[in-house]
Homo-oligomer: A and B are copies of this chain.
Amino acid sequence: MEGEKVVAELLQSPMTLDYILATSAMAEKIKPLTSGISVKEVTEKNYAKISSLSTPPGIAALIKIPETKSFAAAKGRTWALALDGIRDPGNLGTIIRIADWYGIKEIFCSEDCVDLYNPKVLSATMGSFIRVSVVYTDLKKVITVIGLPALAFVMDGQDLNEVSLPYKGLIVIGNESKGISEGLKELCDYKVKITRLGAAESLNAAIATAIACERLVNR
């Protein structure tokens, strides 16, 4: 991960850092946080060569990918997200950021979702990947054992304004063009749609997630 802010966040998170690569100016700046971590200094010119950004920030951390967590029933869960086939890296990253904004700690992804460690996903999370657990697993299993009502967001569901909504649950969001897969949809307790007042045919998956969280979690 590149950038002063995200590296500072990583240093204060439970993530394991292999080492930090930094220009001498950046190494000095981040020094109060780096005790016990190897910091390799590089010249600005060399940093620019390995940077993936057009304005090289001069600092990057190599993080260890945590072991894949498996789904476990947990006490006290209120809201969680289930993502079925989200393929666009920007969408997944933005959804992680939204979850973090609303205090949602857990996202379950179907196995065909884009990988969390895709650089575009990590970058779109704006650092939120540190605080949100993302588990790739069988969503049918999650719905069956999580012990929360599952709310499928679909185009042909009941209007959100006309449903008595639960105060905790699993928000299920489908693929950008195909929506939620049939077998999964059937397992959901609620099939709801976001109220459309105009003419656009659909909303993108991250936008739909934001509206779902605002309506369900923020009340």
Per-residue B-contact encoding for A1-38, CB less than 8 Å = 1, 0 else? 00000000000000000000000000000000000000
Given contacts A211-B214, A215-B214, A99 and B198 within 8 Å (CB-CB): yes
A206 at the interface (CB under 8 A from B): yes
Partner of A214, one of B102, B128, B214: B214
- A92–B131 Cα distance when bound, in Å, is 28
Given contacts A97-B203, A100-B199, A161 and B218 within 8 Å (CB-CB): yes
Known: A97-B203, A101-B199, A210-B210. 15 other contacts (CB 8 A): A90-B90, A98-B200, A98-B207, A101-B197, A101-B198, A102-B196, A103-B197, A103-B199, A127-B200, A127-B201, A128-B199, A128-B200, A131-B200, A207-B210, A211-B211
A195 at the interface (CB under 8 A from B): yes
- A118–B186 Cα distance when bound, in Å, is 41
List chain A positions with a Cβ less than 8 A from chain B: 90, 94, 97-104, 126-128, 131, 161, 194-204, 206-207, 210-211, 214-215, 217-218
Asked whether B100 lies within 8 Å of A198 as measured between CB atoms, the reply is yes
Asked whether B210 lies within 8 Å of A203 as measured between CB atoms, the reply is yes
8 contacts between A and B (CB under 8 A): A94-B204, A97-B203, A97-B204, A98-B203, A101-B199, A128-B199, A131-B199, A211-B214
- A101–B203 Cα distance when bound, in Å, is 8
- Residues from chain B with a CB closer than 8 A to the CB of A206 are 207
Across the interface, name the chain B residue whose C-beta is closest to A90: B90
